[in-house]
Amino acid sequence: MADLLDDSPLAEWLRLSEALQAGLVHALNNRITALSAFAELAELGDDALTAQSVLPRELSLLHQLNGLFRLLVSDTSTAEALEVGPVLDDALALHAHHPSFRSLRCTVMRQSDLPPVRTPRGALLRVLLLIIEHVKEEAEATGDGTMTLTVEADERELSVSAARSRGLGRYALALAERCGGTLEIGASTTRFSLPTLAELRRREKARTNSD
């Protein structure tokens, strides 16, 4: 069964998903332990006021972690108009909990006023997570403690690019296609691109006029 899983296009996502879940469980357990301790202190002695002021922050962190868990099971089939920036932020927040890559940080070079796209949110999140995963693997293998993602767009296309990411497989390519975009893995750069919402509407209008 393990051999069948290793050969499956889903294998790369399942391995990543399991690692992220393990990291989130670890973080959740830490937050629950801290929350319990502060709840006890809030009722006792000189630390009561300090504990009471910390409790809202701990509860907020707990809710954020629960939200990240829900993102892992986001719908990957229903397209919607959305901004890529917040989805990328979610992917980076999720991947920050990966047990093997906590020390690696990501710099995002983001163009201002990025246009919206129309794509399944869950599929977009997954392809971004897989890109981040493999770019971090590349950074670790080369001894570079940082990684950079570049997000830019024009009227017709939005792209997310990074230094070449090793190991991206069939599932990442299939996800990119499900998003309505393309994933190009070159000698030095990985580039994921999507048509903008305005471009999709232009194409739809052109098809309607030609019928």
Residue range 4-36, pLDDT digits in tens: 345 566 888 899 999 999 999 999 888 888 877
Whole-number CA gyration radius for the chain = 20
The residues, ordered by sequence, that sit 6+ positions from 33 with a Cβ below 8 Å of its Cβ are: none
46: amino acid identity, one letter: D
Digit-coded pLDDT (tens) for 61-114: 888 888 888 888 877 889 999 999 999 999 999 999 998 887 787 889 999 899
Say whether 147 sits in a helix, a strand or coil: strand
Q: Is the pLDDT of residue 49 over 60?
A: no
Digit-coded pLDDT (tens) for 132-156: 988 888 777 777 667 889 999 999 9
Half-sphere exposure of 135 (CA within 13 A, CB side): 29
**Interatomic CA distance for residues 79 and 204, integer angstroms:** 15
Q: Which fold has domain 79-201?
A: Heat Shock Protein 90 (3.30.565)
Q: DSSP assignment, residue 193?
A: E
Which ranges constitute the DSSP H helices of the chain? 2-7, 11-41, 48-71, 84-95, 121-141, 170-178, 197-210
**Interatomic CA distance for residues 113 and 115, integer angstroms:** 6
Domain boundaries, the chain: 2-71, 79-201
